[in-house]
Amino acid sequence: MKKLLLFSVLFSNMVLFGQTVLNSLPLNLNNLAKTQILNVEDEKTNDIYAIAWDNTAINILKYNKSVFLTSKFTDSIGKEANRSLMGCTISAEKQPTLYWISPNNKNILISTYDLDNKTSKFLNFDFPKNHEYIINYFQQNNAFYILGKEKDFEHLLLYKFEDQKCEIRMLDFSSFTFTYKGNIKTSFNALIKYYPIQKMESGTLNPLDLASKTSKFYVVDDRLILTFDNGVAKTQAFEINLNTGSLNEKTFSKPDSENSFETSNSFYNDKKLFQMLANEDELVLEIKDFDSGNTIKNYSFSKNDTIPFKNSPFFVQINDRKPQQLKNTAKFLKNLNGLTAGISIVKNKKNSFITFTGFGEARAYYYYSENPNDFGMRDYYTLSKMVYFDAMLNQNLDFISDKQSEPLAMDNLFYFLNTHKNIKLYDALDLKTYRILSYYDEISKQFIMRKFTDGFMMGDSGNPIIDKSTFSNPASFKTIN
């Protein structure tokens, strides 16, 4: 559930926005149910590679930093068949290397493509017997990493693939103390089984259901940061050096209240840890320096307070229904009660955009029967509830109110996807000053790359985005008293 995709529901006035077609290329992809697109940037040369493959062929497109096509290589699909593409790295020889996972998740096929000589070569990597499952994977500094769990031991395994070699580091958590719900001692294995570790993406607003997760990890330069918020008393964090595998534990206490907090969470961003705590009477935000642990800012709001810096109304959403406005802070905190708190932050050049949220999900069932005389069969379904509101912090981490704020590049990109629902096959690449969306147009049989920037721009494309200034237009919503 991505709140960003709700913009078409929440906005009403229309303007033109910053997105430009960079290029398009005729491309024939078959069997779109078994097709993927992947973008990757060579961090050393800033060349951009786009990979598009189907059940018969793989197409590798190379663009220079000005996004002009400089090379194209099409190879037949053979050993890659029936596998899923996980990621791509660029070797020192500027050769793209792709990583294909087997259906049983026990083997990685590594394929390297020479775009100059139009050749390819393959290697196989079998996960060791002590490997249990994959937590997630990522690309960093032209290397491909897989974070996995080791069987039976209190260890994680970090696989680093680079230049057709794999280095495995064991991350040992057995010497650290972990608690369940803040005060019951538990093992590391039990903790991550009950609270699976979720990867947070940098440079984008993470989906709010993921931001509310208890266990998270972030990739920052040459570090991996894990955070655990399984209790309201503290955030337990681990800083892992990707080069050495060294572990450094950090503990961040959470502020106290006269009334005990019922839910809390944290989010790491820009060398700071943002801690959110809430109960039916109070909402607290504390910002700490991640390196020193010192508190930089502390904000507290009671249910009777008006929050002047809100850049959106309070919203509540049940399942995928249209969001509804909540009248005041007290109603927001009441609806947050019983949910898991979450906080998501993304920073642009000057300001940090922050979303406070709560998310909950439950499994329910009903009985149905084709014969009225029968008791019926039990049929399960999922119920979800989410509350949230948006705010903004300046460079000094002071809240500022700016309901006329311009959309970010990611807002424009998600809005474009939401208003072009026929686009099923796409990938996005985050560059320093803009974002690229690569997608396949089934009708024109074109591979298209679009550039999205922050702000409103009068472009030639004429594609509209809805003005964020109307995000809080009361006429657009039903208010819950």
* Per-residue pLDDT reduced to its tens digit, 32-82: 777 899 999 998 899 999 999 988 899 999 999 889 999 999 999 988 988
In angstroms and rounded to an integer, the radius of gyration of the C-alpha atoms of the chain is 24
DSSP state of 64: -
Picking from 192, 170, 340, 171, the residue whose alpha carbon sits closest to that of residue 261 is 340
Element (H, E) at 332: helix 329-336
pLDDT at 466 over 70: no
Q: How far is Cα 425 from Cα 59, in angstroms, rounded to an integer?
A: 14
pLDDT at 16 over 90: no
Q: How far is Cα 452 from Cα 436, in angstroms, rounded to an integer?
A: 6
Q: How far is Cα 390 from Cα 103, in angstroms, rounded to an integer?
A: 40
Q: Residue 460, Cβ neighbours under 10 Å: how many?
A: 8
- The average confidence (pLDDT) of the chain is 85
Q: How far is Cα 412 from Cα 100, in angstroms, rounded to an integer?
A: 31
How confident is the model over 413-430, as a mean pLDDT? 86
Q: How far is Cα 436 from Cα 430, in angstroms, rounded to an integer?
A: 7
- Please tell me the pTM assigned to this model: 0.86
How confident is the model over 399-426, as a mean pLDDT? 81
Q: How far is Cα 232 from Cα 255, in angstroms, rounded to an integer?
A: 9
Q: How far is Cα 448 from Cα 42, in angstroms, rounded to an integer?
A: 20
pLDDT at 475 over 50: no
H-type alpha helices, 165-265: 188-194, 208-211
What pLDDT band is residue 331 in, cutting at 50, 70 and 90?
A: very high
Q: Name the pairing type of β-strands 426-430 and 14-16.
A: unpaired
Q: Where are the beta strands (DSSP E) in 42-142?
A: 48-53, 57-63, 69-76, 84-90, 96-101, 107-114, 119-126, 131-140
| Cβ pair 238, 250 in contact under 8 A | yes
| Cβ pair 402, 311 in contact under 8 A | yes
pLDDT at 457 over 80: no
Residue type, 239: E
Q: Which two tokens stand for residue 45?
A: 């040369």
